[in-house]
Structure 1
């Protein structure tokens, strides 16, 4: 799938603020600072469409981006960031859960995990929850440029085992720096939104 254009549409904290219409959506989920905004920027080949911060927890709303005028990428607030109040973390959790459970436009979720480390307990909970809800999911193992080739097979093995992935469930090494995994991830997204091969 070729990306011709992408634009920020809106940020939302509640259902009433979501964009109208039946355009299909794919959400990006993962812990704080795992690279959701970087992945989004690389997918659409724009350096700063989604704001990138080295400070975890900067994405505090659900951000919607229109791609090719045909589908939306949705950047969800990250989970697991400790330096905010429990009340604020709970608010983020409710916001994300409401979107994932109620959004009819949602066609799939890309769960980002750090390829250098085993998935966290929260990663496992999120993936299991997505499967329980019947939401199609793919895993992007981010920061692939920071892991040596010799350690990749072991990294994939650990991620598959910890998340209990089957061979058919997509797992893609992804690097926002080198574009590795971009085409594979766009292929997965294209299938979800009905644009495979376009």
Structure 2
């Protein structure tokens, strides 16, 4: 058994990563902290709207971008509300893969996409593309504008593009997301 463990350890030492895992973890922790600072992302009306935006706008934009980059030479920047839903969806990788393959015929990865917490000047280019593709839907979720009953109904009816219950997934993450930034 010791020889097998030694062999496995030696093999593990040969694994290389294409990203700096420490830096990626710091960015992810910052993202979770930002989500925790925006409690509307847990509220039913905003959550339904975020799920709708994720399904109707973010995933199609991501699919298009991965096929043929829509932002020349720069990464795509995901809006915070869509990033939160995307994060929760990918926490169940089998469901995420199945949903992507069913809807888009392939897995939608995060190549050439950065977190909203990393964005500086690149966000404006993504926002420009978003506004051109979706002129009736703002890039950022506008919580100052109240949702009408019609808006909520539209979101509820259209929020099931993916088979995974994203609202339930977000609700399961609430206490975890609250606790993570507190330990950093």
> Could you say which TM-score interval applies, normalised by the shorter chain?
under 0.3
Question: TM-score, with normalisation over the residues of structure 2?
Answer: 0.28
Q: TM-score when scaled to structure 1? A: 0.26
The higher-RCO structure (CA 8 Å, 6+ apart) is: 2
